[in-house]
Amino acid sequence: MPPFYIPLPNFSDDEAKNWFYNSTYYKINSNKCPKNSCEENGVLFNDTKEHLSVKIAFVKNGLYLNDDCGYNYQDKSIRRTFERQSDTTVIYDKAIIYTVPDGWSFQHFLDGIGPKLSHSRSYLDKYPDAKVIIIKGARFDRSVKEIWSMLGVDESSRIVHYSQNMKVGARLLINPCRTPGIHPRLWHDARKMYWSISNLSKTFDESNRKNFIYIQRTSTNAMNGARLILNEQPFIDLLKEFCLRNSLNYIQYDHSKDSNHIKHRIELFYNAKYIIGVHSGALSNMNFAQSKTTIIEIMPFRSSTSSLPMTCSMFNPTDLKACAGYILYTQSQLLNQTYWILPTVVNDQGNMNVDLNRLKKLLQKL
């Protein structure tokens, strides 16, 4: 696939801009900006192995042994075969590998399995008896089950929850693992897939796109705790005021209270014009939103590690390691959405008061 660029975020003030320019993400990637101009050109991603090369392997009598499902998948491991039944714990006629870490969860289905599905989904249809191998987890999110079901993959008959002691053989093993984690082509195609299975791709009406969605994080719906907005009511009042002035539908979304089928959530975010929320897995719903949708991510950070998002503050900032705290920013840019970042310091408990003057200034720039 061709090389691609990821633009820098939009900044409403110098405080946000300076925070990002001092972040580990910028320090790691700023040397990849053409002509040393990140603001003008964005960051160039052109590593063949990591960013551009897509491979699907079809292995006769293939054997899967808990290999990492990603772009570093080695040729020798991909081509591994079994010679006798004793080499395996189970043998299927056909199987497709999607063993990305935590792929049983909504967030990591979208950011891990989705890009691989985007170019291999046709084999789910071509081989309707093929088993689908995913990592066994602490749970299996209902929304993920429903997406698989809409893709024609029923849990009871096709999904295999893989644990690390299993040796999975297949007379035909289909392996799409060696796929870049990020590339706009893959993310756009995955999004079209979600729209298509929800029957949305042919029903677009721009006049319906009036949703301003606040993704609410609470002490009861947060899987990892903390990152709560302490001054939430005046924060919400400011959002509602913006919606009233701009004839928008204010929607407060709490995923823990959503009992509808996932196709209704896909439609909800498909019709979003603005999405705002604190950094969390629930912001991954942006994968259902259209290009040009405005995304506002409130990025929590600790004052003691101010160059890192809170979710990466266990790292040493001087090590300049890749940090998953920027994945939502990356996703938004891959999807050609309009991304704004609002870095916000948290207290000792990991919660925050959003600066309403800064938020008001940001909203005025939209």
pLDDT digits (tens, 9 = 90+) for 147-183: 999 999 999 999 999 999 999 999 999 999 999 999 9
pLDDT attached to residue 258: 95
Go through the chain and tell me how many residues it has: 366
Lowest mean pLDDT among 256-260, 320-324, 346-350, 355-359: 320-324
Torsion angle, CA of 272/253/112/22, rounded to 10 degrees? 80
Query: Does residue 55 carry a pLDDT above 90?
Result: yes
pLDDT digits (tens, 9 = 90+) for 199-251: 986 666 777 789 999 999 998 998 788 999 999 999 999 999 999 999 999 99
User: b/e for 35-62, b at 16 or more Cβ within 10 A?
Assistant: eeebeeebbbbeeeeebbebeebebebb
Rounded CA Rg of the chain: 21
pLDDT attached to residue 206: 75
Contacts of 168 (CB under 8 A, 6+ apart): 63, 64, 65, 88, 89, 90, 92, 95, 133, 160, 162
More confident residue, 194 or 224: 194
What gap in Å lies between CA 178 and CA 196, rounded to an integer? 25
CB 251 within 8 A of CB 213: yes
Domains and CATH numbers, the chain: 4-46+195-365 (3.40.50), 54-179 (no CATH)
Structure tokens at 112: 């891990």
pLDDT attached to residue 93: 98
pTM of the model: 0.95
A 10 A CB-CB count for 281 gives: 21
Only one residue has tokens 């791709």, namely: 201
CB 12 within 8 A of CB 340: yes
- 10 Å CB burial of residue 139 (0-12, 13-18, 19+) is exposed
Q: How many CA atoms lie within 13 A of 357 on its CB side?
A: 2
A 10 A CB-CB count for 15 gives: 14
| Residue 63, strand partner residues | 169
User: b/e for 217-237, b at 16 or more Cβ within 10 A?
Assistant: beeeebeeebbbbeeeeebee
Stretch 32-56: mean pLDDT: 93
Query: Does residue 109 carry a pLDDT above 80?
Result: yes
Structure tokens at 40: 């003008």
Coil, helix or strand at residue 211: strand
pLDDT digits (tens, 9 = 90+) for 250-288: 999 999 999 999 999 999 999 999 999 999 999 999 999
Mean pLDDT computed over every residue of the chain:
95
